[in-house]
Amino acid sequence: MLTIFERLKQIAREIDKAIKNEDLGYSSKQNATGDEQLKLDIASDFIIEHILRDVALVKSIISEEKEDIMEVNPDGKYTICYDPLDGSSIVDVNLSVGSIFGIYETGNLSGDGLRAAAYVVYGPRLELVIAVRGKHPRHYRSGARGLFSSRAPIVLKEKGKLNAPGGTQQYWSPTHRSLVESLFSEGYRLRYSGGMVPDLHQILLKGGGLFSYPGTQDRPYGKLRMLFEALPFALIFEAAGGQALDEEGNRLLDLCPTKIHETTPCFFGSNYEIERFKKVYGL
Ligand code: AHM
Ligand code: MG
């Protein structure tokens, strides 16, 4: 697994370079979910595929930007599911974006089979967070010559101050609206950029809060994909001492997608805000 983590650092540096130097515009292609692909989505996917191909432990890869699973090493042990460039809609306005990775046991693409998760933040500084089950997530920041140095492990407090509610507000349910309003009326501050990586990173580093992406009238099953987005962050939040649930109150890590690009409503937070979510939703 350590070899994989070292390769994630290489991936982070290469995608960071591409974001800083390459064309930020759209390609003429769409991905498996029908989203218009940026040239950078394709370039980031290519970088990850080429680096992971060389890692013997990796049997197969599944990308948000690819239709199907791709086998890269027949004797490998893990399947890596990744979103190469999350936050495509905000890269053109120079906000922080990210990459997300879930490292699954091959043949068990579910929360249960998720062995480790990681994300990269491409912001003013390049950062990497890696989590394995049962240990606080490790946090790295790059400095001189692009070298990553290790920072304090990430530990959530019981309660935070940030509220990051996703989706189109017009289509929220009354229940969801009252959850969001109940936190604001208690003094929570709005922090939502439209990129789940920097938004969740902010909650993790500031010690707590709630990020919610509910099922809505226009997207009854939410927007965020289980394998590449929701489950990796669920592992990271639980490892940091928080919780990650779906709209029915199930742990995201108890879910098992039936198709590769399946989405789920999701709620990530420190314990106080998740308890509030359960109460307001009647769970
Ligand atoms: P993407 O993978 O196409 O970039 O979409 C995922 C992004 C997340 O980063 C973010 O949390 C969400 O979409 C924002 O969606 P919305 O604008 O509906 O709140
Ligand atoms: Mg994404």
**Closest CA to ligand 1's atom 2:** 86
How much of the chain exceeds pLDDT 90, in percent? 89
Centre of ligand 1 from the C-alpha of residue 272, in Å: 25
129 domain-assigned: yes
Residues 128, 14 share a domain: yes
**Best mutation site among 44, 82, 89 for ligand 1 pocket (most ligand atoms within 8 Å of CB):** 89
Residues 83, 47 share a domain: yes
| Average pLDDT in the chain | 95
Q: Looking at residue 225, what DSSP letter applies?
A: B
Contact criterion met (CB below 8 Å) for 267 and 252: no
Name the more confident of 134 and 183: 183
DSSP three-state, residue 32: coil
Is the minimum distance from the CB of 41 to ligand 1 under 6 angstroms? no
Q: Which amino acid is at 186?
A: E
Residues 131, 50 share a domain: yes
Centre of ligand 1 from the C-alpha of residue 167, in Å: 8
Model pLDDT for residues 91-132, shown as the tens digit of each residue = 999 999 999 999 999 999 999 999 999 999 999 999 999 999
Separation of alpha carbons 109 and 259, rounded Å: 10
Residues 146, 179 share a domain: no
- Only one residue has tokens 């996917």, namely 45
**Closest CA to ligand 1's atom 4:** 87
* Phi, psi for residue 23 in degrees, rounded to 5: -60, 130
Residue 89 above 90 pLDDT? no
157 domain-assigned: no
Residues 146, 7 share a domain: yes
* Phi, psi for residue 165 in degrees, rounded to 5: -95, 120
156 domain-assigned: no
> Rounded to the nearest 5 degrees, what angle is found at the Cα of 177, between the Cα atoms of 161 and 92?
70
Ligand located closest to 100 CA: 2
Specify burial of residue 262 (Cβ count, 10 A radius: 0-12, 13-18, 19+). middle
Separation of alpha carbons 283 and 280, rounded Å: 8
Centre of ligand 1 from the C-alpha of residue 74, in Å: 33
Residues 171, 269 share a domain: yes
Of 13-22, 35-44, 189-198, give the lowest mean pLDDT range: 35-44
Is the minimum distance from the CB of 195 to ligand 1 under 6 angstroms? yes
Count of alpha carbons within 13 angstroms of residue 136, beta-carbon side: 13
CATH number of the CATH domain containing 176: 3.40.190.80
Residues 7, 144 share a domain: yes
155 domain-assigned: no
Range of the domain at 218: 162-281
Residues 8, 81 share a domain: yes
The gap from C-alpha 149 to its chain's centroid, in whole angstroms, comes to 22
Instruction: Tell me which of 108, 126, 150 is where a domain ends.
Output: 150
Instruction: Tell me which of 150, 175, 190 is where a domain ends.
Output: 150
Is the minimum distance from the CB of 194 to ligand 1 under 6 angstroms? yes
85 domain-assigned: yes
Domain count for the chain: 2
87 domain-assigned: yes
- Only one residue has tokens 């890696």, namely 130
Model pLDDT for residues 212-256, shown as the tens digit of each residue = 999 999 999 999 999 999 999 999 999 999 999 999 999 999 999
Separation of alpha carbons 106 and 118, rounded Å: 17
Model pLDDT for residues 131-160, shown as the tens digit of each residue = 999 999 999 999 888 899 999 999 999 999
Instruction: Tell me which of 95, 122, 150 is where a domain ends.
Output: 150
Q: Which atom of ligand 1 is nearest to the CA of 199?
A: 11
**Closest CA to ligand 1's atom 16:** 167
194 domain-assigned: yes
Residues 22, 128 share a domain: yes
Centre of ligand 2 from the C-alpha of residue 78, in Å: 21
Q: Which atom of ligand 1 is nearest to the CA of 168?
A: 18
Contact criterion met (CB below 8 Å) for 271 and 242: yes
**Closest CA to ligand 1's atom 18:** 167
Is the minimum distance from the CB of 166 to ligand 1 under 6 angstroms? yes
**Best mutation site among 26, 122, 196 for ligand 1 pocket (most ligand atoms within 8 Å of CB):** 196
Specify burial of residue 6 (Cβ count, 10 A radius: 0-12, 13-18, 19+). exposed
Mean pLDDT computed over 166-187: 98
Is the minimum distance from the CB of 35 to ligand 1 under 6 angstroms? yes
Residues 125, 43 share a domain: yes
Residues 38, 124 share a domain: yes
Is the minimum distance from the CB of 214 to ligand 1 under 6 angstroms? no
pTM: 0.96
Ligand located closest to 194 CA: 1
185 domain-assigned: yes
Residues 175, 113 share a domain: no
Beta bridge partners of 119: 100, 129
Separation of alpha carbons 275 and 210, rounded Å: 11
CATH number of the CATH domain containing 135: 3.30.540.10
